[in-house]
Amino acid sequence: MIPKKQKKSSSGNKILKYSLSILLVLILAMSAIPLLFKDKILALVSDTINNKINATVSFKELDLSFFRNFPYASLRVNELAIINKAPFLRDTLFHAEKINFTIKITSLFYYKTAPIAIDRISATNGTLNIIFDKNNSANFDIAKKNNSVTTETESAVALLINEYALENINFSFSDETSKVKLALNNIYHSGKGNFTKEILDIDTKTTAKLSLDYQNINYLKDINIKLNAALNIDLQNSKFTFKENTASINKLPLEFNGFIQLTEEGQFYDMAFYTPNSSFKNLLALLPKQYSKDLNGIETKGNFDLNGVVKGSFTETTIPALNISFVSKNAMFKYTSLPKSVNNINIDASIINTSGYLKDTKIAITNTSFKLDKDLFSASGNVVNLLENATVNLKVKGSIDLGTIKKVYPITFKNELKGILQADITTQFDLKSIEKETYQHIKNKGNITVSNFKFKAEDIANPFFIDKTSVSFTTNTVILEEFRAKTGASDIAIQGNLENFYGFLYKDEKLKGNFNLNSTVFKVSDFLTQSKTTNTKEKETINLKIPSFLDVRLEAVAKKVIYDNINLTSVSGELHIKEESVRLKNITSAVFGGNIDFDGVVSTAEKRSKFALDLNLKKLNIADSFNHLKMLEAIAPITETVEGKINATLQVSGDLNGDITPNLKSIFGSLRGQLSNTKLKPKNSKALNLLGSKIDFLDLNEFNLNDVSASFSFANGQVRVPPININYKDIAIKIEGSHGFNTAMNYDINLDVPVKYLGSTVTTALTQCTPKDVARIKSIPIKASLKGSFSTPIFSSNIKNTTADLLKILLEKQKQSVLKTGKDKLKNLLFNSIKTNNTKNKIKNVLGGFFGKIKDTVKKN
């Protein structure tokens, strides 16, 4: 028999054993269920959602855990994305890296009879994009239409949320009709409260960066906003009332009171906001930190009050009435580290709408003025009819010493800036007149003057001084009445006008103009910017870039232009700047002892700047022009060897270097020239020296090149020279061939040489020939060539072989002539002496004399 105590112990062990087994089974089940049914749950959730909306919903992973936040279940959705279908095909409506739900486990089993209790829901690293297109369609309108009647048993699942959070969410809003773009980036927002009540209080915290564009103009950029607010929420009446709260825009503090209520038509606002104190420092706090600098290091006096009332309904057709004012009276500020202050600051501006229609919203600047050291500046005006046709009325008047700016504001100009700016302008225009190009409705008058202006920068060759410039305004035309400036050795004076100013300013149209430019000295290098280089011995110039928005005609006259160490005088011509190019027309100049005129174009539309010129060169000094113009010297290297003048036409195209000089490797074209008043200097050329030494009957110093014409064609660094004919005494010379810009050459020289230049041997042989043979052999062709390079020439010719061949011909002719003469004399002798007794002796004497002459002739030759 077992004792009672032992029985109780055995029963307890069994209970503990079974309890542990059950608990282990439950733990294993709770661990296994999410894993075993993960794919099914994933497919079920995805299909259910996609069947309800007209968009594509996807997520990479659905992670359900009963232990991560026990006794709450944890549901995590990774990479959730909602992608629109037409008409917003493939646009992303929403995306989040993670969405976390912390849910009371027991509520999962009773969701049909009781609300699901969610302790916390959060979204992390996401984007939400709201778009209204031109047809006023919204990309968030994605719910599929369901005509079936919902019964009580099919009612939606109820949710009880205790806390929610948005962590690093970017929100964007775009309306293509009104051209409004709003962005809230880096949103961190959280709310906590008892959502089981119909009326509840929640505490919220919000930070974000606000940006706003309207009509393609940026008004706000990354403005820091912050709001910590206690809200009273009436869920039954959809009413949200501000209780205790603090807010800030950048560092401007604000407080709110009132409420927002959701209605069937939209929302109803009854709100007021204001700055809790009226220090002028509040205005500076509105500026982004990079502009306001350190507010702790600034002294201020005076007030700045921002007050606003917003009351009324926001619907598809109406907005709440607005009355927002910005007021400051006799304020000042001074940075303690700077010597000057800005004084007498007065601001009276407001945004007003009393009708509830957006088109009646008005921005008014009643009086805004300030004093910068001793200079007073003021502005007033208004903007009305914002929605339908924004109309601007503005008046600006005052003067500013640009050099004073850095004395009152902690800004470091990269470049030195000085000068006095004076303005007195009144303008009135509306956007529709600009859009329709009815510029006659725009009314402008007034002028701007700048005097004693100085601009200095590291990347420009010299400081830029403007003695005076005066600009006046009329309807759509800006008149440059006067512009006098100097930089380096250059001076310029410009007058003219700019047309289509508003089309350029607001519609990205071409800026058109006509100007006259006069200069005493214009040095091109004074206007070229320079880039830094690691080679201290050289400076590179930035490639010329002509703005694409210009369509400007310029008539220029300059007494002297200095270009790449070339002095041009009496320069005049027309320039047309358009489509990133400059067209040059009727450009004339005196240079190199002669004149030059040309037409052409310089284009910077492509990555490499290009040019094409058609030039006429008249009586240019060869030495000066070819020595300074490397392009001419490369085409025809005669600088050191020819004195005199040249008339030529040159067509050339190619790329430009950064200093606006031709890139010789890229040029191609043709040159046709004629020499005059010339003198050849063969001693300065190794090639000509070699030629003169090898052909001794040519005295190159006596060559007359006057009126010699030559044509050249060039491309890829090679120059092709068609036959050039030169007459030296009674010798005809023809030269043709090619050379490279690298000085390599390959020339053929053909000479038609009278035989008298071939030496005494040939001339003696000629005396023995008959007059008829001599007449037949007046000259012989000789071929020669110059190869190698200009510095190391190689000469070859057939003079020796040609002379030897000629001698053989002459000897043969003498032989035939002597034999014929001998035969004739012998025949005559025999005929005349046959009757005499001494015939034998006479024949002997004749034969002896005859063969003796032949022998003597052969010896001599």
pLDDT at 454: 83
pLDDT at 679: 87
pTM of the model: 0.61
Q: Indicate the range of 206-210, 348-352, 505-509, 531-535 predicted with least confidence.
A: 531-535
- Interior CA angle at 414 toward 409 and 415, to 5°? 100
Q: What is the pLDDT of residues 498-537, one digit of tens each?
A: 887 777 776 778 888 999 999 999 988 787 665 444 444 4
Angle, helices 38-52 vs 4-36, to 10°: value is 50
Three-state SS at 5: helix
pLDDT at 31: 46
- Is 394 or 282 the better-scoring residue by pLDDT? 394
pLDDT at 841: 54
Copy the structure tokens of residue 391: 């109309």
pLDDT at residue 835 tops 90: no
Residues 140-166 have a mean pLDDT of: 65
Angle, helices 839-860 vs 799-833, to 10°: value is 170
Could you give the CA distance from residue 348 to residue 812 in angstroms, rounded to a whole number? 121
Most confident listed range (65-69, 292-296, 445-449):
445-449
- Interior CA angle at 580 toward 669 and 464, to 5°? 110
pLDDT at 278: 77
pLDDT at 548: 86
**Distance between first and last Cα of the chain:** 166
- Is 846 or 742 the better-scoring residue by pLDDT? 742
pLDDT at 558: 95
Task: Give the strand pairing for 550-563 and 744-754.
Answer: unpaired
Could you give the CA distance from residue 489 to residue 510 in angstroms, rounded to a whole number? 32
Residues 420-432 have a mean pLDDT of: 89
Q: What is the pLDDT of residues 665-694, one digit of tens each?
A: 999 999 999 998 888 899 999 999 999 888
Contact 498, 509 (CB under 8 A): no
Residues 467-493 have a mean pLDDT of: 88
Q: What is the pLDDT of residues 776-788, one digit of tens each?
A: 777 888 899 999 9
pLDDT at 259: 94
Confidence of residue 223 (pLDDT cuts 50, 70, 90): confident
pLDDT at residue 219 tops 50: yes
pLDDT at 143: 78
pLDDT at residue 859 tops 50: no
Q: Which residues contact residue 848 at a Cβ distance below 8 angstroms, ignoring those fewer than 6 apart?
A: none
Q: Indicate the range of 187-201, 252-266, 705-719 predicted with least confidence.
A: 187-201
pLDDT at 168: 95
How many CB atoms lie under 10 A from the CB of residue 680? Answer: 20
Residues 113-122 have a mean pLDDT of: 77
Most confident listed range (227-236, 772-781, 833-842):
227-236
pLDDT at residue 212 tops 80: yes
Residues 203-208 have a mean pLDDT of: 92
* Residue 603 C-beta-side C-alpha neighbours within 13 Å: 13
pLDDT at 369: 94
User: Percentage of the chain with pLDDT > 70?
Assistant: 79
Confidence of residue 843 (pLDDT cuts 50, 70, 90): very low
pLDDT at 459: 63
Confidence of residue 167 (pLDDT cuts 50, 70, 90): very high
Residues 369-385 have a mean pLDDT of: 91
Most confident listed range (136-145, 290-299, 716-725):
716-725
Average pLDDT score over the chain: 81
Q: What is the pLDDT of residues 383-419, one digit of tens each?
A: 998 777 889 999 999 998 888 888 888 877 677 778 8
pLDDT at residue 158 tops 50: yes
Contact 258, 272 (CB under 8 A): yes
Could you give the CA distance from residue 221 to residue 182 in angstroms, rounded to a whole number? 10
pLDDT at residue 375 tops 70: yes
